[in-house]
A and B are shown apart, each in its own frame.
Chain A
């Protein structure tokens, strides 16, 4: 069965960087785009962008350019989200999600809580 397994919670200080992983299994990794979605505490879902798992080309939503980087390691079927120069407002749960059609996310990782605090 399709599974997306994300790395564990992170506690970081402002200004630091963090790298969240999302390991896929149960399907042919290059065939489906992977998206990243942010959910701040008590808030709704916010689409961050996606990465083409075949070409590695990332696309970023407005508000997620500059400090946010999507990448892949196809040899281990894993996508990564790196956030640099962390701010308190980056505190959130970050999800990866597989896109099966167009903007249709059928499988989600369990989420990774990133807490930014001094």
Chain B
């Protein structure tokens, strides 16, 4: 049984560019949450998608947006990249209101 898979593993982008990160949830899970983990910090909740809609959002600007597809996979988009957006982006899948399982993350570096 495949767990949560994320792509790509690593990514380097230039300031001002846009990036799209992808996540496939664990089999049977219908909810996807995205987190940002800066170096040496705990993950911070960005937002959650359920039934193709954003259900809850953390303290992140509108430059961060997402989408969930009918097969429950999800994308995280970040526009107008800043140097401070450099981080490990984690996707977590779950059934609604149950424990979250994390993927290995996408390491984004903005130069």
Binding between chains A and B:
no
Task: Give residues in B with beta carbon < 8 Å to A.
Answer: none
User: B-contacting residues of A (Cβ < 8 Å)?
Assistant: none
